[in-house]
Amino acid sequence: MIKYDKEDIIRLVKEQEVKFIRLQFTDILGILKNVAITSEQLEKALDNKCMFDGSSIEGFVRIEESDMYLRPDTNSFVVFPWRPQNGKVARLICDVYNPNGTPFEGDPRYALKRALKMAEEMGFDAFNVGPECEFFLFLTDNDGNPTTKTHDNGGYFDLGPVDLGENARRDMCLALEEMGFEIEASHHEVAPGQHEIDFKYTDALTAADNILTFKLVVKTIAQRHGLHATFMPKPIFGISGSGMHVNSSLTKDGKNAFYDKNDPLELSQDAYYFIGGIIKHIKYITALTNPNVNSYKRLVSGYEAPVYIAWSNSNRSPLLRIPATRGASTRVEVRSPDPSCNPYLALAAILSAGLDGIKNKISPPSAMDKNIYEMTEEERAENGIDSLPGSLEEAIALLKSSPYVKTILGDHIFNKYIEAKTTEWEDYKTKVTQWEVDQYLTKY
Amino acid sequence: MDTARVIVAIGTEAANAKVKSFLAENGYLVVDTAEECNECLRKLSLYRPDFLVLDSSLPKLGGYEVAKVALEDGSCDVIMISSKAQEEIGFEMRDSSRFSFLIKPINKMLLINTLELMKRSGKRIKELEQEVEHLKSAIDSRKEVDKAKHLLMQHLNMGEAEAFKRIQKQSMDKGISMKEIAKAIILAYDI
């Protein structure tokens, strides 16, 4: 990762004629927020003097505590490749601080930094993450509103030889590469209109920053192609949903800590304990990795999304999968998260769960290479295979019951997150859905 | 000249059809039409036309948003049709040679003449750009060869003509451009 300091940023802004800088941060739900400044205010921002009203941000503070400061992370400086004539726009990801100079406990980025500190204290020099994000590209209707129709069925094939979605995805990759992202792969996914872009792994903080920017770039470029991009986990019943697989590994002394060539699976003891930790905590953190009502419509069998808590070296769709590569690319792939999650909280939760496994030497159950979906409930119970929560309500209850997760998130985020999610669930619970109308209106 | 491909997005189906048939009569190929901004953006991406004839009040985002994307992303020229004589045109469009502005009602001959003019000047600009690229590359190459020549003269005690011939011979023998040989020589002496 490129390291910039304050002078570098001032110089780059001048050299590249950047007119606007977006100071970005997130609320606890992972929605990107920004304060846009002009290049004249850049020095003030770099001196950590930019302020905003914290009471207007979801999960932040009440009105009486509202002044918050933004401290830009200079290493996150990136210039957006579009709108070159209006004046270039750059972004700086910021940490949120209290007026007294302490980091704000409600800042999700701080939660991830705390988890990374814990890893460092345990002797690991980095937690590397390579995310694989899926998304849908939908058409808009005549009023410009998004639909769930994909162009694949839209009859464009008879008009042009090239796929509209492929064009858009290619432009997305070009834009991301221009911004310095390293794209490993990009392809059309299983469902019509569904695409995937995979990033090369980087340290978790950069990866989380990049996931947010990636979503922004995808949405912007989709719009420029007249399409609507969505990271909604399950927009259409009956076809695959969109997940965000997290390929993770820890490094120690510059080497991959998960690799051990003497083990039958070539995995180190730390790797096994990491898996053990995640298996232990995953259902308690699912409310973080799969944050909304719709997330649970994706976690059903039949669409390659995980349902049961198990790991495997060879199985196609377990919760935790160990891809075949070894050596420096040895990693554990966590397959349950979806791209609507707050990446800072999700990665902090996954890392902490894994570290807990390493610290307390939690051995994982044996690898489950049989097809779990074909087992009966008794067989699963016999094998000790538990399931992920089946709804947001279940997930919230599990989150609430875990003191370990409370320490990872800190009281502020823990309480605010539960509050926000409970409100969401209560609202959903009381709404009358189209399904009910279809089922019962004529019958009764 | 090849047939220019156009997308027409004036607004209603009827208006589009009228312009489409008129353009076709004059030798232009209208690949598709659009009645709304997102539809227009999708078709721009699919067809990559040479020209876009666009109404400034196209629903829903307005013609200028589409024009911005067309000028920045695509290689197509834009003709904006508007009902207001004095309109807020962003400076980036006013200064662009790929953007033109016509007032409604559309004067057919004026539209054709504008298209013709943009086609010709676009072609000329492309030719000039290529020539400039070519010249730039030739100058770069000459600079590198000069540098390498002087290095050889200095270190191997050669005359100018001999040094040049040496570089030329290496280039012919190895089948690599003289510029590459020059670069290699410069690098070697840098060590």
Prediction ipTM score: 0.75
Q: Which residues of A are catalytic?
A: 53, 132, 134, 189, 196, 245, 316, 333, 335
Q: Which residue of A has its CA nearest to B96?
A: A85
Could you give the CA distance from residue A317 to residue A337 in angstroms, rounded to a whole number? 13
Counting one residue from A and one from B, how many pairs have CB atoms under 8 Å apart?
A: 60
Phi/psi for B30 (5° steps) reads -85, 105
Query: What is the pLDDT tens value at each position of chain A, 444 positions in all?
Result: 568 888 999 999 998 889 999 999 999 999 988 889 998 999 888 988 888 887 777 676 665 667 889 999 999 999 998 766 667 899 999 999 998 999 999 999 999 999 999 999 999 999 999 999 999 999 888 777 888 887 664 333 333 445 778 888 989 999 999 998 999 988 888 788 889 999 899 999 999 999 999 999 999 999 999 999 999 999 999 888 999 999 999 999 999 999 999 999 999 999 999 999 999 999 999 999 999 999 999 999 888 899 999 999 877 778 999 998 999 999 999 999 999 999 999 999 999 999 999 999 999 998 888 888 888 888 888 888 899 999 999 999 999 999 999 999 999 999 999 999 999 999 999 999 999 999 999 998
**In Å, how far is A168's CA from the nearest CA of chain B?**
8
Three-state SS for B2? Answer: coil
Strand A67-72 versus strand A18-26 pairing type: unpaired
Across the interface, of B40, B46, B90, the residue whose CB is closest to A162 is B46
**In Å, how far is B43's CA from the nearest CA of chain A?**
8
Could you give the CA distance from residue A237 to residue A241 in angstroms, rounded to a whole number? 8
**In Å, how far is A180's CA from the nearest CA of chain B?**
19
Could you give the CA distance from residue A199 to residue A214 in angstroms, rounded to a whole number? 10
Could you give the CA distance from residue A130 to residue A210 in angstroms, rounded to a whole number? 10
Mutation for B interface: A140, A151, A156, most B CBs within 10 A: A140
With an 8 Å Cβ cutoff, are A86 and B92 in contact?
yes
Q: Is the pTM of this model over 0.80?
A: yes
With an 8 Å Cβ cutoff, are B47 and A160 in contact?
yes
Residue A373: is it exposed, middle or buried by C-beta count within 10 angstroms (0-12/13-18/19+)? exposed
With an 8 Å Cβ cutoff, are A144 and B69 in contact?
no
Could you give the CA distance from residue A244 to residue A234 in angstroms, rounded to a whole number? 12
Could you give the CA distance from residue A309 to residue A214 in angstroms, rounded to a whole number? 29
Mutation for B interface: A83, A85, A151, A162, most B CBs within 10 A: A85
Across the interface, of A86, A168, A226, the residue whose CB is closest to B40 is A226
Three-state SS for A299? Answer: coil
Ramachandran quadrant class, A238 (left: phi over 0; alpha: psi -120 to 50; beta: rest): left
Asked if B26 has any chain A CB less than 8 Å from its own CB, the reply is no
Could you give the CA distance from residue A293 to residue A356 in angstroms, rounded to a whole number? 28
**In Å, how far is A144's CA from the nearest CA of chain B?**
6
Asked if B136 has any chain A CB less than 8 Å from its own CB, the reply is no
Cβ atoms of residues A79 and A9 within 8 Å: no
Query: Would you state the structure tokens that stand for residue B67, as one six-digit string?
Result: 């024009």
Mutation for A interface: B46, B66, B71, B73, most A CBs within 10 A: B46
Cβ atoms of residues A103 and A117 within 8 Å: no
